[in-house]
């Protein structure tokens, strides 16, 4: 799938995901050709936001999954929700939020904020009203403190070596100002942002 006309940025994203989630975090995930991390949700329904430098080198990325069909929270982690996982045409799940391992600390902070901003801009431009997600506790606590409308969907649960929690983010016209107040809002400048509707876009 990757070698049949996919964009350079997508290949770089899958390689970065393998480096972060498999090599660094030791998640038990499928790896294609020993180089790329993909799972069953990397299909024609997935969307990707990818930040690269001018040479198409990966800096940060996220995968978005429609919740009106099977996705991570309702398929793999439903126990993280006190009630039924949120689903709907205007609700998308953020997964594989990935910052490149080569980034220095200050660069990671900058790319994190730019990727969060890009997710909000994407939501506002495409009628997405809510995001859901699953995160390890350290990352979950950061997300909850960004200043936007965000809530936990249940109590965290230990899964292997990780303590995981589920969350829901409400996106409104006020979200950019809320993130700006929290010093998170950071529109892309002097970098490339690519959006893809599928792996083989």
Chain segment 6-50, per-residue pLDDT in tens: 478 899 999 999 999 999 988 889 999 999 999 999 999 999 999
Q: In this predicted model, which residue has the larger pLDDT, 57 or 122?
A: 122
Chain segment 68-103, per-residue pLDDT in tens: 999 999 999 999 999 999 999 999 999 999 999 999
The token pair at 41 is 């949700």
pLDDT, residue 27, reads: 87
Would you give the distance in Å from CA 93 to the centre of its chain? Answer: 8
pTM, 2 dp: 0.90
pLDDT confidence of 57, banded at 50, 70, 90? confident
The token pair at 18 is 């393998």
Q: In sequence order, which residues have a C-beta less than 8 Å from that of residue 134 and are 6 or more positions away?
A: 72, 73, 77, 80, 95, 164, 165, 166, 167
Residue 84 contacts residue 156 (beta carbons within 8 Å): no
Q: What does the alpha-carbon distance between residue 131 and residue 123 come to, in Å, rounded to a whole number? A: 9
pLDDT confidence of 195, banded at 50, 70, 90? low
**Domain annotation for the chain: domains and CATH numbers:** 8-196 (3.40.630.30)
pLDDT at 201 exceeding the cut of 60: no
Q: Which backbone phi and psi does 155 adopt, to 5 degrees?
A: -80, 145
pLDDT at 121 exceeding the cut of 90: yes
pLDDT confidence of 146, banded at 50, 70, 90? very high
- Give me the mean pLDDT over the 55-67 stretch: 93
pLDDT at 114 exceeding the cut of 70: yes
pLDDT at 2 exceeding the cut of 90: no
pLDDT at 53 exceeding the cut of 90: no
pLDDT, residue 190, reads: 59
């Amino acid at each position: 799938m990757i070698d049949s006309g996919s964009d350079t940025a997508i290949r770089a994203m899958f390689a970065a995901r393998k480096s972060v989630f498999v090599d660094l975090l030791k998640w038990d995930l499928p790896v294609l050709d020993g180089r790329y991390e993909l799972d069953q949700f990397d299909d024609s329904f997935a969307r990707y936001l990818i930040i690269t430098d001018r040479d198409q080198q990966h800096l940060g990325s996220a995968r978005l999954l429609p919740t009106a069909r099977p996705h991570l929270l309702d398929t793999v982690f439903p126990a993280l929700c006190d009630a039924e996982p949120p689903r709907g045409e205007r609700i998308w799940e953020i997964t594989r939020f990935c910052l490149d391992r080569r980034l220095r600390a200050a660069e990671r902070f900058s790319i994190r904020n730019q990727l969060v901003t890009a997710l909000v801009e994407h939501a506002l431009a495409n009628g997405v009203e809510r995001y859901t997600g699953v995160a390890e506790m350290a990352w979950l606590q950061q997300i909850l403190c960004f200043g936007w409308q965000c809530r936990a969907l249940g109590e965290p649960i230990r899964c292997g070596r990780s303590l995981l929690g589920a969350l829901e983010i409400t996106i409104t016209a006020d979200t950019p100002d809320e993130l700006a107040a929290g010093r998170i809002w950071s529109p892309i400048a002097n970098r490339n942002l690519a959006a893809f509707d599928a792996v083989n876009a």
